[in-house]
Amino acid sequence: MIVRVAGAGTPVWFVVLLGVVGLVVGGLTGRRLADGGYRTEYDEAGALPRVWWWPAPVLALLWAFLGWRLGDYAGWAALPAFLLFAWLTVGLVWIDADVHRLPDGLVLPAYPALLVLLLVATLGLGDWRALWRALACLAVVFGVFFLMNLVSPASLGFGDVKLSGLIGLLLGWLGVQEAVTGVVAGFLVGGVVALVMLVAQRVGLRSHIAYGPSLLLGTFLALAFEYQLVA
């Protein structure tokens, strides 16, 4: 049978604390995004999103979830990298949904930032194989998405390719299974979203659908639904 792996046994007070801090940081992030400072003259965008407050509860839930899921793994050293990625997720989902673009100003600096944080996490874990595995998953996932972009650039933008490397790096640090699950989940979520929008006639067959949010959701699904096969 297949059983789902439980959380890390983090104290409830710490999970609540992360949720409260995430609520505050998410609120500040939403207010900053609401001014549209990320937009450029080349973006084809309409009115700014009016629901500016949603990053607050979303980041609160993500940070609380990560505190429960990872907890004191690697002596608490692993948590900062995942918290940073959750904050990045909120910003990228907002921007990609608005202007169908994943800005280099957020994605590219995240590479050295996550590398440094995962290096610290590796020192806390005491197992250098985790870092080498993360780098290998980064290369493989980035390579797969790069080839997909070459084959069908209209279906998968290069911003998604750059984002995929971050996902491979982060999930690959935990394990190859997590990286594979995250990528597959991202594809499945993207397919379901596209199908629903087509059925609802919100988009056409030639319309561009923001794929970044699906990739990011797939990452957290890989963390939420880590399964083990038990004989």
Amino acid at 20: V
| Cβ atoms within 10 Å, residue 24 | 12
Chain centroid to CA 196: 22
**For residue 32, pLDDT beyond 70:** yes
Q: Are 58 and 107 in contact (CB under 8 A)?
A: no
Q: Give the list of residues 6+ apart from residue 14 with CB closer than 8 angstroms, or none.
A: 67, 71
For residue 141, the model assigns a pLDDT of 97
Mean pLDDT taken over the chain = 87
Q: Are 7 and 69 in contact (CB under 8 A)?
A: yes
**For residue 3, pLDDT beyond 50:** no
> Strand, helix or coil at 165?
helix
pLDDT digits (tens, 9 = 90+) for 107-143: 999 999 999 999 999 999 999 999 999 999 999 999 9
Q: How far apart are CA 56 and CA 26, in angstroms?
A: 4
85-100 average pLDDT score: 93
Chain centroid to CA 154: 22
Expressed in percent and rounded to 5, the helix, strand and coil fractions of the chain are: 70, 5, 30
Give start and end residues of each alpha helix (H) in 34-175. Answer: 55-70, 79-99, 104-125, 129-151, 158-174
Is the dihedral angle over the CA atoms 78, 81, 87, 89 positive or is it negative? negative
102-108 average pLDDT score: 94
